């Protein structure tokens, strides 16, 4: 089995796992990963995470030209923005996960630090998450907003829409976006209950111990 065949199957396996656990539904969400030759494999437009076909993934060459597979997701500007601004990005995942979207609708959420410091794991896998404003689905302005962060964030939350996370590979990106949704779920479950969050000192201890990318 070639490396690319293995990557195609991994993308579809992880996407199906995400779908089956209700983290994105219907034909929502999109996923991409770097190939060994510098190209991209991308989920096609209008497809379900639960039914991706490895042979029909959109295949781009290193110059960004579609060379095989079905037409790609309309959210390509989001994906390319991360790849172009973060040299460590090997995969990008975008979901319409329920609790993170709900949290994005709350009026008092910190735009520069979307997730409250409830556990160390959100910090370790995501750093600080930027809340971006609402854009129409497919609007290239979403990609421009990500580019405006100059590669300083590995994850953003699109208000009233869903999270977008870049990782070193497709497994890391999926793990991180799942952690984002889990932390958002905790935030919604404890909302109004005055939970004991990590202190500033505890946050800094996590950042230091695990070498977390922490853009102020």
Catalytic residue set: 75, 121
Give buried/exposed letters for 7-16 (b at 16+ CB in 10 A, else e).
bbebbbebbe
Question: 10 near 174, Cβ under 8 Å?
Answer: no
Provide the sign of the torsion angle of the four alpha carbons 109, 123, 148, 166, taken in this order: negative
Question: 127 near 152, Cβ under 8 Å?
Answer: no
**Rounded-to-integer distance, Cα 96 and Cα 28, Å:** 6
> Among all chains, which residue has been given the structure tokens 């991360």?
82
Q: Helix 170-189 and helix 3-20: axis angle, to 10°?
A: 10
């Amino acid at each position: 089995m070639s490396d690319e065949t293995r990557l195609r199957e991994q993308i579809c396996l992880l996407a199906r796992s995400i779908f089956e656990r209700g983290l994105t539904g219907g034909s929502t969400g999109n996923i991409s990963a770097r190939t060994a030759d510098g190209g991209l494999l991308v989920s096609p437009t209008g497809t379900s995470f639960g039914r991706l076909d490895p042979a029909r993934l959109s295949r781009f060459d290193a110059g960004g030209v579609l060379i095989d597979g079905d037409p790609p997701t309309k959210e390509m500007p989001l994906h390319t923005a991360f790849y172009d601004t973060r040299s460590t990005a090997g995969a990008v995942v975008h979901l319409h996960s329920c609790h993170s979207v709900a949290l994005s609708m709350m009026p008092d959420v910190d735009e520069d630090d979307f997730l409250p410091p409830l556990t160390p794991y959100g910090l370790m896998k995501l750093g600080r998450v930027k809340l971006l404003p609402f854009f129409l689905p497919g609007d290239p302005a979403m990609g421009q907003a990500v580019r405006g962060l100059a590669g300083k964030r590995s994850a953003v939350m699109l208000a009233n829409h869903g999270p977008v996370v870049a990782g070193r590979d497709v497994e890391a990106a999926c793990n991180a976006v799942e952690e984002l949704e889990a932390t958002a779920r905790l935030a919604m479950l404890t909302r109004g209950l005055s939970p004991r969050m990590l202190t500033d000192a505890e946050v800094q201890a996590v950042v230091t111990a695990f070498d977390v990318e922490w853009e102020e």
